[in-house]
Structure 1
């Protein structure tokens, strides 16, 4: 069940203020914190179950419910790094996407931005060495903004050139799994593991 996540998605962008400093907003802030913590716990439980069945990889910490500016950030993520790998390596992540009543989990081949090294982007770009087809797709960053591009051979070749020319900074490979508030967690874990199997050849290409 993912009812807390579903509800918390409606809080995207809300500013959290410590209740003792929030004046008449005290109760609202207490509710926001409780919901954020409950939603993050749901993501943690999901990640732990994936981790138990994902041999050879270790889960990292699930992202916080608010960012450093104390803005509600319900699109949680968790990275799974190959055992013995360095933090700057490419990994496999699960990431929440969407909005209340219309959300899901994406499985992606990507890296932790704040831990990247000089070699990380070059390794990530190797996902473009392999052919691609829907339902896999690309998530492309240009000038700090990211957007979805269809997983097609034309896009693969064009993105290879755009990366080489410096027009694109990074390209992630993603697969989406729609989720509902009453989705059974065990069934979702099975779908995530199937998604990991789909993206695994692209992860291997980055090694």
Structure 2
């Protein structure tokens, strides 16, 4: 299951150089590019299967495997929106996480940083108005550092205070689907659908 993604994760953070410019590393870089493209295709295929089950949400293109600095991304993502949503709105998204030895795909309520408006963070923070419990959890950005926080009522109240005081900038709500060797694409999609179902109330809360 997702063998190319698993293999690719070993190279996350590595600098890619075009083979024609990498001299004695040309063969290595060619292999890296082929693997990365195959991993991204696996992620795209999984999201295409998921998209068929979560209509009317429409998936955007999956992220590229390297950033503008040509560094291999540590994860891929794909945002899902309703036709009525704008690009600055809070959306649902799938995101690859972990390392080659322990990885999975999460579903989250979040937004695209480079497309946000002055209102986007205000809308995102509305997720804290709803109660939460496991298996959902928070992913919090504070002073540029992101960390996971358990989905408990105590943490919800604390985060509301920290957001109000601007101690915490951003709070996502997430659901993880660990990927195992024996997991089929259909089984993974089934779990991702469950994540969508659990997170839709939070997504809807950002629209109020």
Structure 1 position 74, deviation (Å)? 4.1
Runs of 4+, deviation exceeding 6 Å: none
In the aligned structure 1, how far is the partner of 2:201 from the partner of 2:7? 35
Instruction: Give structure 2 stretches of 5+ with no counterpart.
Output: none
Please provide the CA RMSD for this pair: 0.9
In the aligned structure 2, how far is the partner of 1:7 from the partner of 1:118? 39
Instruction: State the TM-score, normalizing by the size of structure 1.
Output: 0.98
Superposition pairs of residues 166-177 of structure 1, within 5 angstroms: 166-177=166-177
Q: Is the 8 A contact 1:2 1:180 kept in 2?
A: no
Superposition pairs of residues 177-196 of structure 1, within 5 angstroms: 177-196=177-196
Q: Give secondary structure in 2 for the equivalent of 1:133.
A: coil
Matching residue of 1:38: 38
May I ask how many residue pairs the two structures share in their alignment? Answer: 207
Q: Give secondary structure in 2 for the equivalent of 1:162.
A: helix
Q: Deviations over 1:30-71 (max 9, x none)?
A: 000000000000000011111111111110010001111000
Q: Is the 8 A contact 1:2 1:182 kept in 2?
A: no
Matching residue of 2:6: 6
In the aligned structure 1, how far is the partner of 2:134 from the partner of 2:189? 21
Q: Is the 8 A contact 1:140 1:146 kept in 2?
A: yes
Matching residue of 2:80: 80
Are 1:143 and 2:139 counterparts?
A: no
Structure 1 position 101, deviation (Å)? 2.4
Instruction: State the TM-score, normalizing by the size of structure 2.
Output: 0.97
